[in-house]
Structure 1
Amino acid sequence: MDVDFLLIGQGLAGTVLSYRLMDADQSILVIDQPAGNNSSRVAAGLFNPITGRKMVKTWNADRLFPCIKPLYAELEKLIGQRLIYDKAIYRPFFGVDEQNEWMGKSCDEDVQAYLEEVRTQPLYDEVHDPYGGIVLKNSGYLDINVLLDEYNAWLKAKGRIKEENFDEEQLVHEGGKWRYQGITAKAIIYCNGLGAAQSSYFQWLPFAPVKGEILEMESEFVPEEIINRGVFRITMPDLRVRVGSTYSWHDLDIGPTEQGKEEILARLEKIVQGQAGEVLSHRTGVRPATKDRKPLLGKHPSAKNVYIFNGFGAKGVSLVPYYSNIMLDLLLENAEPEKDVNISRFFKYI
């Protein structure tokens, strides 16, 4: 089989980039081991414009957020399944100082596109929010598992995916092209999360993996809004509640931990009191984050036509739509990504 691009990995990054390439009339093949997509499958799928403990506008939000819904709407049409859920996010204040700060920010054009309301009174009896909070718009979540499963089926029907372990030792460059087990490709793209850290081409990149744990629970409290402060709490379409997440840079072992579960439940009780409910599932994944918390896009400095599209961490749902277009420009027009995401910023580590 001859293709333009061989993509390694069909997590969120590989799914979106392969779609972008085919939409641009490029031929592709994806090699993927489904069991290796844990980081994408365990992710909450949130797109949240105001993040962090200090509740600041997420990095590059004004570029990222206009791309989110249009891209996932295209994929909804492609696979015939709902993927994107527009949901307000409610972020309670921790004190009167935050309340006063956000009353002032509500007039700031820099955040108005994402701010629905500043509340000075509690929103729900069940939520511990004596100082009120902010209600965000242009926010919500993506059902990543449905996207990965249905897009995988679509790729299979097109004969564009091989489900197997990728063995880099069988990859050979000859005649100006890459050859792998009877496949010939003009270029190869590593979209395989932490798997790229084991590659001989990209092991020098400073990945900083983060383990996250997430719970699904039953609860009688099913607000329409996503509650998010120290922990996120999402009401799913089946009225189950998804809660998370932990962030561990030290314990990277695969598998859920009792400590992680107790940490999530303790954080939940601080913000949504007496509404924990029965835990129905407990899952983990290791996110392919980077030391500077920015993605990894670019072309290998010496290996011909070897690329990486990776390192999106916990904000992949927000980052991938915009940066897949930037990556497409690199692949098709040789337009270099900006320095803050370009892997050239790490060439000194080679």
Structure 2
Amino acid sequence: METDFLIVGQGLAGTVLSFRLMQLGQRVVVFDTPDQNKSSRVAAGLYNPITGNQMVKTWNADRLFPEIVPTYRQLEQLLGKLFLVEKKIYRPFLSIEEQNEWMGKSAEPEFQGYFEQVFQQPVYAEVNNPFGGIMLSNSGYLDIPTLLDGYQEYLLQRGSMRLEKLVEEELEFGNEYSVKYRDIKAKAIVLCNGLGAMGSKLFDAYPFAPVKGEIIDLTQSFSPEEIINRGVFRITLAKGKQRVGSTYSWHDLDEGPTDRAKNEIMEKLEKLVPETVDKIVHHRFGIRPATKDRKPILGKHPDIEGVYMFNGFGAKGVSLIPYFSKVMCAWMLAGVEPEKEVNLLRWSKT
């Protein structure tokens, strides 16, 4: 069997990158082991243009955000499924000073298109927002499991999916095709397998700094259409449920949810929406393939032709991957090397 690209991992990175490649007329074979824990499947899938405690514009937002909705809508059309939910995000102000700062920012051109309105008075009686807040636009969330399941079915129908672990020791390089694996000859191989890449022998080391995140699905009577986000995010789901999270731990990377994270989420929720929680429905965790500088890794092996890496997207994969999958395709197909900020070569000295 001959193909153009072997893709290792069908999380969000492998899904979108292989989709891009096929759009450009390339053949792909994707290897994945769906029984293993994947950070993609337990992520909330939020995309948010104003982030962090300081409420700053997301890194590279002007390049990233124009690609988000078109990419996932194209995938919806291909698969005949709906998984992108465009939702406004309400972020309460913590002080009158913050309110005043955003009243000034609202007139600046760089923030246009990312918010709908700045409120100087409380918007919701159920939310702790005495200083008002800002209603963000160009935001929402992705139902990642529905996307991954639908895309896996699509690849299987095309004969482009192998539900098995790729054994690196069986890879051969340097024949008439750059890569040979068992019955498959390919021009290149791309590692998109998240933390699974940390055990790879194709690269000496990965600059990963894994982050464990936990989320909780619960029920409260307050069910706004908008996402509420400050300290924690709170998304209204179907059937009266809300999703709340997320924690970020660089130290506790053990498998399984923890009481510590549960208590942290519930305490922050109490500060944001001081309303009785009727029931906790699910408590889940995922370990994200983040990097030390919190930037993705677009990598090319320095010595072996046709070996690439597309990885390290962390908690913001939903917003990062659509744009950088285009950058990665331009590199692999046209030799347009990405900027140093996301290039694996930035770690060459270490």
Question: Which category of TM-score, normalised to the shorter sequence, fits these structures?
Answer: over 0.9
Q: Is the 8 A contact 2:179 2:187 kept in 1?
A: yes
- Secondary structure at the aligned position of 2:54 is classed as coil
Compute the TM-score of the two structures, normalised by the length of structure 1. Answer: 0.98
Q: d(CA) in 2 for partners of 1:25 and 1:36? A: 30
Q: Does 1:90 align with 2:81?
A: no
Structure 2 counterpart of 1:35:
35
Q: d(CA) in 2 for partners of 1:82 and 1:236? A: 14
The alpha-carbon deviation at position 37 of structure 1 amounts to 5.1
| 1:240-294 alpha-carbon deviations (Å, 9 max, x no partner) | 1111111000110111111111111111001001243311011100000000110
4+ residue runs over 3 A deviation = none
| 1:112-170 alpha-carbon deviations (Å, 9 max, x no partner) | 21011111111111100111111000100111110001111111111111111222111
Q: Is the 8 A contact 1:41 1:144 kept in 2?
A: yes
The amino acid that maps onto 2:269 is L
Structure 2 counterpart of 1:329:
330
Q: d(CA) in 2 for partners of 1:130 and 1:102? A: 15
The alpha-carbon deviation at position 202 of structure 1 amounts to 2.9
The alpha-carbon deviation at position 238 of structure 1 amounts to 3.4
The alpha-carbon deviation at position 56 of structure 1 amounts to 0.3
Structure 2 counterpart of 1:54:
54
Structure 2 gaps of 5+ residues are none
Deviates more, 1:56-65 or 1:110-119: 110-119
- Secondary structure at the aligned position of 1:66 is classed as helix
Q: Does 1:188 align with 2:172?
A: no
Alignment of 1:133-282 (within 5 A): 133-176=133-176, 177-282=178-283
Deviates more, 1:98-107 or 1:54-63: 98-107
Structure 2 counterpart of 1:348:
349
Q: CA RMSD in A?
A: 1.1
Q: Is the 8 A contact 1:265 1:276 kept in 2?
A: no
Structure 2 counterpart of 1:66:
66
Alignment of 1:53-132 (within 5 A): 53-132=53-132
The amino acid that maps onto 2:285 is T
Q: Is the 8 A contact 2:331 2:337 kept in 1?
A: yes
The amino acid that maps onto 1:168 is E
Q: Is the 8 A contact 2:220 2:275 kept in 1?
A: no
Q: d(CA) in 2 for partners of 1:15 and 1:338? A: 23
The amino acid that maps onto 2:295 is K
Q: d(CA) in 1 for partners of 2:11 and 2:322? A: 13
Compute the TM-score of the two structures, normalised by the length of structure 2. Answer: 0.98
- Secondary structure at the aligned position of 2:208 is classed as coil
**Quick one: percent identity of the two aligned structures?**
58
| 1:59-104 alpha-carbon deviations (Å, 9 max, x no partner) | 0000000000000000000111111111000111111110111111
Structure 2 counterpart of 1:2:
2
The alpha-carbon deviation at position 183 of structure 1 amounts to 1.4
Q: d(CA) in 1 for partners of 2:137 and 2:18? A: 29
Structure 1 counterpart of 2:310:
309
